[in-house]
Structures are given as C-alpha cells and as structure tokens.
Chains A and B, each alone.
Chain A
C-alpha cells in the first residue's frame, strides 16, 4: 500500500472511531448517580445478620458455634446460656469482627437452625477498627426465652 492510501486509511479509521464515540454521546447515561440513585442490592451478600423468624419474633441462635468452627478467618465471638428449664441454649453474645470477614458464606451454609443470613448492607463505613465489630444481637434487645415469654 502506498503512503497516500495508508494515510487515507488511517484517517478514516480515526473518523470511524470518532463516530462510535459520537453515537454514544446521544445514548442514555449508563452511570449510576450514586448518592441520588441506589443500586439494586436485593441479591447482595453483605455482612451477616441473624434471621428474625415470624413465628417467634426473634432469632433462633443456639450458640452451637458451628459458624465459629467453620470460619476461615476466626471472626466470631459467641457465648450462650441455657434458659431455665429449656432444652436448647440461647446466644447471649454474638460478635463478628467484620474487618477479617471475607463474606464467603460458609457460616450461612453451616448454620443448623438457618438463623444466619446475608444482610443487604453495602455502605458500612467506620473510622476505627473497633467499630468494625458487629453485634448481631443488637436488634434483639430482649430475648423472650430468658424473660419467660417463650419456652
């Protein structure tokens, strides 16, 4: 190919590329305008939380430590107590250190009472490392098994 033909072909390729960009200029915006628009997080697997069962109105954690045993990163700190006359234990302390969690979901799979699930939270921020420790019992200030409302 001679020089002129090569130059012509080169310029044409640049113009064709410019045409592609130009067409995109008039297409709908694809960027999510984040604080004003929110992503659909309905399938997002965020930091784990305890499930509230509608029958009891509370979680069903029996402090069996299965999640703590399977956890590759040793995130969990769980303590439990047996309510008076009950067969099963109840969790009295359930902390996860989110700074070491890798969201693998093994704890969710391994839970024998299915009381762990991914939350839909995706915006957690913290200024200090100590704030990354999540207290999963915080949404359950009162345990009906301990106050005698449920047996």
Chain B
C-alpha cells in the first residue's frame, strides 16, 4: 500500500462523488473521494440523506407508539432494536417479564442476527463481483424470514415486542421448525467455506485490505464485528449481559488482523455462535405465559418514573444504546439512540486513504453499514 502526503495542488488530484445512488453504498451514503489516479487520498462520508428524526419522533408519541419506529432504524436486524426499546422501557418502569418471553426474545433476536449477517455476506460478495453466494445466502435467509414471519407476522420491520412480553406466543410447532432451519444453515456452512473463504479471488481482495488497528477502533468508538475483527473481544452480550443471555454459553470470535477478511471471518463465526445460543434456548424454552398476566401490554397508557437511564444491546452491527430521559409523562422527554453504524462509518476516513477505488468498495462493504441507522 502506497501512501502520499496530502496534496494541495488542485491539478494533482480530482474529486469523485461515490453515491448517494451508488449500489455498493447500500443506501444513501455519499463518499467524497479525493483521488490521485486510482488511489484514494482522502475519503469523506457525507450523510443525512435518510434522516427521519426518529429521536424527535420519540418525544411526541407514547412509549408504545414508538414501537414501529425502532425496527426502522436498522431494518436488517429490526427485531434486536425492537426488543432493545421494549427492554429499556421495561427496565425503567420495572415491568416484570415472564421467563418464556425472555428466552423467546433471545431466540428471535439471534435468528434475526443470522439473517442480517447472511444478507451482509451476500451483498458484500456481490460488491466484490461474486453473485453466486448471494443466491445461497438469500435462500438461507428466506428460511429464517419465513420462520420469523410465522411468529411476528412481518418479514423485516418487526414490532413484536410488548412491554412485559411479546405480541404473539411461539406456537407449539415452533421449536421443530426452528431446528429445521438450523439444520439447513448447518448444512450450508461447509459450502460457504469452500465457495468463499478458500476462494483465491476473495482472499486476494480481502486479506490485508482496509486494516483498522485496535487503537483506531477504540478512538472512533467502533463496535460489533468490525471491532472484533481488529482483535478486541467486546460484545455487549458478554460485557453487560442483558435479558436471558447470561444463562447461555457462547464465545466471542475475534481475529487480530483488522482487515476485510477478518471482519468477514468474524461474522461467519458469529452466525455459528448464534446457532449455539438458539439451540440452548430451544432446549431451555420454558412454558407459561408469553405476556405477564395483568401486565399493561399496550392497553393502558404507560408512564415512566422521572429519571435517566441507559440501556445497551448487541445488535448485528455492534453496540446499540438507548438513553431514555423521562419527566414522568406518557412520552419520553428525550430518547437518544447510539447506533453502531455511525462510528463504524467514521473510522473509514482512516482506513481508506492509500487504497484503490475498488478496495474502497470492499472496505465500505466489510463494515456492514445500514444508512438509515447512521442518519436515524
């Protein structure tokens, strides 16, 4: 990798707008690239194209009315975001949650995480010019979406959490169908390894490209698989366990290299850990109610005690936090969302200079950005 000092000569460089309609930016991200020939001198992300003011919207609607907004921040792992909001409110209001709902939430959230990672693998390899894995990933993801649809009624933007449990129960047949999906995923993994991980073209485009050091990640607040690909074993599920996660055994896959390949590898291993969690959860799935009996659900207006509280979960992209400030009313006084994609995007200004335009696509893809989540 060659690096040149930044130049001020306007004739030496030129500016290229990558996006906001570029297919490899996965949404509406504009990258302002300053190029010297094919080499990137600076890369500046321009964001805000899908800003919908979710934080402001939270201030003028009740806690229950904000439920459909949550999964629209990150539409690829909406279930995790939905449950994060529900759990944040439950924690602040002190609403008890039945055991069955706690474990069911873990199952649904982990399935959603796998679906998100599968979509990422497919779309990322499509960016690198490999359309075949995309089709297989989509097939697997479809099985998961169908399973989640059978519980929630939706395919992507779920609003299935309720304060004190879930909107619908897992039916009696659900564990069998879930295990079928898991068997299907398991059978596909060796194929992914042979097709992608060992592939010479993918390895040459991924290994040693877009290296992010631990210190860069730390200084930008990078989290999730991108951070774990740089060798930092930070996972909210282990660092600040929430919900039913403490009772399940799983590892945090990390890799020290910090390149595109490491981030790919970490996500693939994470899917296997998610399956591990789901299998344990299915074995332990208790009976009983899925919504706390006599719980307010959404029927009554929920008022939270005065106070401030932070609640964090591990989304498919990293540390997702909700800062809730209540003044005792039926609406939050302030809701601040700490979304993982924003710092993961910011760090690219450090990773991209010195690489080629084709590598920029690989680096951008490897961080798994969801632009509506960056803008909120």
Footprint of B on A, CB under 8 Å?
9-11, 13-14, 16-17, 19-21, 24, 30, 40, 43-45, 70-72, 102-106, 109-110, 112, 118
- Whether A43 contacts B199 in the complex (CB less than 8 A), given A16-B194, A70-B64, comes out as no
- Whether A43 contacts B68 in the complex (CB less than 8 A), given A9-B200, A110-B298, comes out as no
Task: Using CB atoms, name the residue of chain A closest to B68.
Answer: A104
Residues B198 and A45 in contact, CB atoms below 8 Å apart: no
Bound Cα distance A48, B158 (Å): 16
> Inside 8 A of A44's CB, which chain B residues have their CB?
149, 153
26 contacts between A and B (CB under 8 A): A9-B200, A14-B199, A14-B201, A16-B195, A17-B132, A17-B199, A20-B194, A20-B195, A21-B195, A40-B146, A43-B151, A45-B152, A70-B65, A72-B66, A72-B69, A103-B68, A103-B157, A104-B67, A104-B68, A105-B153, A105-B159, A106-B64, A106-B68, A106-B159, A109-B299, A110-B299
- Whether A106 contacts B152 in the complex (CB less than 8 A), given A13-B199, A16-B198, comes out as no
Chain B, 156-191, contact with A by CB distance < 8 Å: what is the 0/1 string? 010110100001000000000000000000000001
Footprint of A on B, CB under 8 Å?
61-62, 64-69, 72, 132, 136, 139, 142, 146, 149-154, 157, 159-160, 162, 167, 191, 194-195, 198-201, 203, 297-299
> Inside 8 A of A70's CB, which chain B residues have their CB?
62, 64-65, 298
> Inside 8 A of A16's CB, which chain B residues have their CB?
194-195, 198
Residues B195 and A43 in contact, CB atoms below 8 Å apart: no
Task: Using CB atoms, name the residue of chain A closest to B198.
Answer: A13
Residues B199 and A72 in contact, CB atoms below 8 Å apart: no
> Inside 8 A of B199's CB, which chain A residues have their CB?
13-14, 17
Residues A118 and B153 in contact, CB atoms below 8 Å apart: yes
* Known A102-B68, A103-B154, A112-B299; further 5 A-B contacts with Cβ < 8 A: A70-B298, A72-B66, A72-B68, A106-B159, A109-B297
Bound Cα distance A45, B67 (Å): 16
Residue in contact with B159 in the complex, picked from A19, A40, A71, A104, CB distance below 8 Å:
A104
Question: Could you tell me the distance in whole angstroms from the C-beta of B65 to the nearest C-beta in chain A?
Answer: 4
Bound Cα distance A109, B161 (Å): 12
Residue in contact with A106 in the complex, picked from B151, B195, B203, B298, CB distance below 8 Å:
B298
Task: Using CB atoms, name the residue of chain B closest to A10.
Answer: B200
Residues B64 and A17 in contact, CB atoms below 8 Å apart: no
Bound Cα distance A55, B201 (Å): 67
4 nearest A-B pairs in the assembled complex, by CB-CB distance: A45-B153, A10-B200, A104-B68, A104-B159
Question: Could you tell me the distance in whole angstroms from the C-beta of A55 to the nearest C-beta in chain B?
Answer: 24
> Inside 8 A of A106's CB, which chain B residues have their CB?
64-65, 67-68, 159, 298
Bound Cα distance A122, B200 (Å): 43
Question: Could you tell me the distance in whole angstroms from the C-beta of A151 to the nearest C-beta in chain B?
Answer: 28
Bound Cα distance A95, B154 (Å): 22
Residues A17 and B195 in contact, CB atoms below 8 Å apart: yes
Bound Cα distance A72, B65 (Å): 5
Question: Could you tell me the distance in whole angstroms from the C-beta of B282 to the nearest C-beta in chain A?
Answer: 19
Task: Using CB atoms, name the residue of chain A closest to B200.
Answer: A10
Bound Cα distance A10, B160 (Å): 47
